Structure 1
């Protein structure tokens, strides 16, 4: 193995290329040279070469790579934390340069879980648009862990998503609580049957969300599926509620969905509720933001309006069943 040169801090500040850090962050977030190359639109050798050049610039090995092995070194973890802050600052430079006029014209980018059906959120969003019609929005629907990563990296204004655990670098408020149930579609043999018990679900194929895992945000749903005895092999998964719903309706398997979201589908005969009928697992959805992010006026006003509405509304009125 080649010997890395010693770290020269003054030379580093003069010579470090931001594109190398950007490639490094993509590598860290994707956990793979192949996926990082696809995300950046580069060839795999270019990504590997960028990592090598960065390690030479900083004088430290950053990623321990090998067959079936991809782990950050101590230096890599330290550089990742700093690079995330640098990336967020660069992404937000435009905020400092925007005109501060009487009309709020900023853009608000929101990372959002696909099963966010929340009247409180919709009401605040609608009121904000009526008062500040020049502001614009973009919604990035993704798995909750990706939404959290986007908030940490300051790529979005804030997120509405599930939280597996508290991150001390972020702040949050519980926006609402929903309950998940198990459903099947018209082609499923259990569709339309009454008097079902958990025993009727044993061994049935299932579909679910990508976060439906014991170590992820939908852990209570994972436990519900386990108690029901569904086949441990998941036929299909998605981060998007509409796609999970599509797979259930198409008959790929039994799957979990928020009960309040499915009410109309059940009434119209597109979905059928299955056991357990009592004590369905509760899932909390949070408003999440990075206190270190420099927000434009539109972002600040909307975030503060959401926080104010959440704090003024009892949780019973933010619980959907």
Structure 2
């Protein structure tokens, strides 16, 4: 009798399935073509195509619908991708967990951070954590909010601080702060320095913005703010990083949205000018996101617990940045 009475077909599936095939499939699912995936994997295109065919043969399902100009996961492919990301995250964490069992290491914390996160509460927690655990190491990767959440889902990151559009039921969320977005322009822009402007003055002007500034995405309120100003849908430049949106605004490429509390220093320094609407700017909530099924090392668990406790203990008005 096989252990735990595993059915014959499941036992055979576990024996036959090659992890390297799953790894290649995860990269394929995150790419736009076999050619792109091959480049990421540093393999030839035929090798990647063969790996995909072998995996499809193993699972008995077509995983990617491929034809000229079309590259999309099938329903079976989407299901396998979700599970494979979980498996990959667990495998990547094994070396860290084993090292902690044999060495006296404090642990490493990986934080996925949206680029526009400016939060005194988070900064204070990091400072206290380092003072208490000086041997713990930390890495912060700046990603788009969608990529940050994907990194937590795949257990590559300890937790994320980012915007949230659609909630994954496998993850946990807690709002860390609320910020408000305004519209700004730089010195070369014709509206720079002008007072008593109205929304009507913004009509027809070009815009720069974040990749998520769309009606179907996390910055929907910002997209609506631009639409109400009759700026149209033409966006001259986009980025997922605040610093690059800021760069384009200051360079005069167009009017751009930025968190008001983040842009304040540039306004005070005279390199940026705030535009209407001045009252009732759209609020945007930023969340801490973590994976409750992830096995965290001591440093990760300590920092996450400290951050969540500080959020819960701090009234919302002290976590609202205007």
Does the Cα contact within 8 Å between 2:100 and 2:107 map onto a contact in 1? no
Partner of 1:243: 244
The count of corresponding residues between Structure 1 and Structure 2 is 315
Partner of 2:202: 201
Partner of 1:171: 172
Secondary structure at the aligned position of 2:62 is classed as: coil
Cα distance in 2 between the residues matched to 1:188 and 1:43: 48
Partner of 2:3: none
Cα distance in 2 between the residues matched to 1:125 and 1:302: 8
Q: Give, in angstroms, the shift of residue 190 of structure 1.
A: 0.3
Secondary structure at the aligned position of 2:250 is classed as: helix
* Uncovered stretches (5+) of structure 2, i.e. residues with no partner: 1-7
Partner of 2:149: 148
Q: TM-score, normalised by structure 1?
A: 0.93
Cα deviation per residue 1:238-287 (whole Å; 9 max; x = unaligned)?
Answer: 11100100011011111000000011100111100001111101000000
Report the more deviating stretch, 59-68 or 264-273: 59-68
Cα deviation per residue 1:198-247 (whole Å; 9 max; x = unaligned)?
Answer: 11111111111111111111111111111111141211111110010001
Cα distance in 2 between the residues matched to 1:121 and 1:101: 31
Partner of 1:82: 83
Partner of 2:286: 285
Partner of 1:32: 33
Secondary structure at the aligned position of 2:100 is classed as: coil
Q: Give, in angstroms, the shift of residue 157 of structure 1.
A: 0.5
Aligned ranges 1:111-260 → 2 under 5 Å: 111-260=112-261
Report the more deviating stretch, 278-287 or 29-38: 29-38
Cα distance in 2 between the residues matched to 1:67 and 1:250: 40
Partner of 2:274: 273
Q: Give, in angstroms, the shift of residue 31 of structure 1.
A: 4.0
Q: Aligned Cα RMSD in Å?
A: 1.8
Residues 84 and 201 of structure 1: is their aligned pair in 2 closer, same or farther, counting only changes over 3 Å? same
Cα distance in 2 between the residues matched to 1:291 and 1:18: 24
Partner of 2:110: 109
Does the Cα contact within 8 Å between 2:107 and 2:136 map onto a contact in 1? yes
